[in-house]
Amino acid sequence: MLLLLAGCAAKTPAPSPAPTEAPAAAEPEPSVSVLVPQGYSAADTAAMSAYMSANRCLIAGQRLYGLDYDAELRPVLASYILRGGQPRSFRILCEDCVPEYLAQEGKYLYFINGGRLQRLAMNGHSPETLLEGPIQSLQIFDGALYYTDGDGRYCRAALDGTGGETLIEGPCGYAWAMPEGVLYQSESEGNCLHLRLWDGTDRQLTAAASYAPLRIGNTVWYSQRDSEGSVLGSVELTDGTVTRWETQDLRGTAELIPSGDDWLLRVFLAGDGWKQQLLRPGETEGEACAYSGYRLCDFVGEACRVDAAYDPDGRLRCFVLVNEAGGELRYFGGKVLD
């Protein structure tokens, strides 16, 4: 696969005396300017993975916030206190709410609900709508709100929603701000991945449709879709090396989950049903997930995660809190089911 870089300045060789009759100049070979990535921690990786899964849950301190259901099975934003690793003291913070892209900054929770960008105090008080939207995604980075609007433009605003400005005209998807710039999928460029550096330079990182990028260290992993099928791909930020991994055909995007001191990729396999498999990054053969039905990540932390667990027929069964040792605890609607 060819790595394409847009907006990079080519190195110009030193001039030499021109002959009397200069032959036709050969086309210069494009050069690649080397990007020096800044440190990317396990916490950054975990936050990015949660974002790619729409971050419907959030653990802050000893509290768990996220999507849940009331006694009438209506969606709510709820909170639990985590005591001994178990969710206790169920409390509804916002009714008629399907929270997505939950983020915390200072004393506030920020989230998207029905396309509106909202926030409320961590104790559930002072709810307010900051942007009517529609808003498609939300990240808090470097003390500001970063979001995509209804037209796919990537924007930035102050924490109170004021002073909005467009950073990338788009339309773009999976946009994620990091120290070097914004990693995003360009929908107008064949759904390829780009990196928009903070100085405005735009680099095309992949030449095939690429989805849900996940960065581990200086490697970006993604689900790739091309004429040969849907598999995993990766690109090195340091030198631009792109690899197409000959995995089994995938049905959807990959999720990143913590496993001890390592990371695993959880992928949906093509075929009948919702079969999921665990892969170590860089390996093409994995192992089947040891549960029936299927799961989707709602939150990913460095040492834990929250899954939404579904029955094989697609109905939501419960939420699963998975700890660092792999132990699982199921809960739903304020009740611990185990």
pLDDT at 46: 92
Q: Could you say which architecture CATH assigns to the domain 42-258?
A: 6 Propeller (2.120)
Which pLDDT score is estimated for 33? 55
pLDDT reported for residue 13: 36
Predicted TM-score of the model (pTM): 0.86
DSSP characters for 20-44?
SSPPPPPPPPP--PPP-PPP--HHH
Span 315-324, mean pLDDT? 91
Render pLDDT for 168-183 as a digit per residue (tens, 0 to 9). Answer: 998 999 999 999 999 9
Give 31-63 pLDDT, tens digit per residue: 345 688 888 999 999 999 999 999 999 999 889
Q: What integer is the mean pLDDT of 231-237?
A: 94
**Predicted local confidence at residue 282, as pLDDT:** 87
Separation of CA 5 from chain center: 22
Burial per residue of 66-101, b for 16 or more beta-carbon CB atoms within 10 angstroms, e otherwise? bbbbeeeeebbbbbbebeeeebeebbbbbeebebbb
pLDDT at 290: 79
Amino acid at 44: D
For the chain, the domains span 42-258
139 close to 51: Cβ distance less than 8 angstroms:
yes
**What are the φ and ψ backbone dihedral angles of 300, each rounded to 5 degrees?**
-130, 125
What count of Cα atoms within 13 Å lies in the side-chain half-sphere of residue 297? 30
Higher pLDDT, 45 or 14: 45
Predicted confidence (pLDDT) at residue 102 exceeds the cutoff of 70 = yes
How do residues 186-223 score in pLDDT, each as one tens digit?
999 999 999 999 999 999 999 999 999 999 999 999 99
pLDDT tens, 104-148?
999 999 999 999 999 999 988 989 999 998 999 999 999 999 999
Confidence of residue 257 (pLDDT cuts 50, 70, 90): confident
Q: Give bridge partners of residue 145 from the DSSP assignment.
A: 140, 157
- pLDDT number for residue 34: 67
How far, in Å, CA of 238 to CA of 73, rounded? 48
> Looking at residues 295-303, what average pLDDT do you find?
89
pLDDT of residue 47: 94
328 vs 313, higher pLDDT = 328
What average pLDDT does range 93-97 have in this prediction? Answer: 94
Q: Using 50, 70 and 90 to split pLDDT, how confident is the model at 3?
A: very low
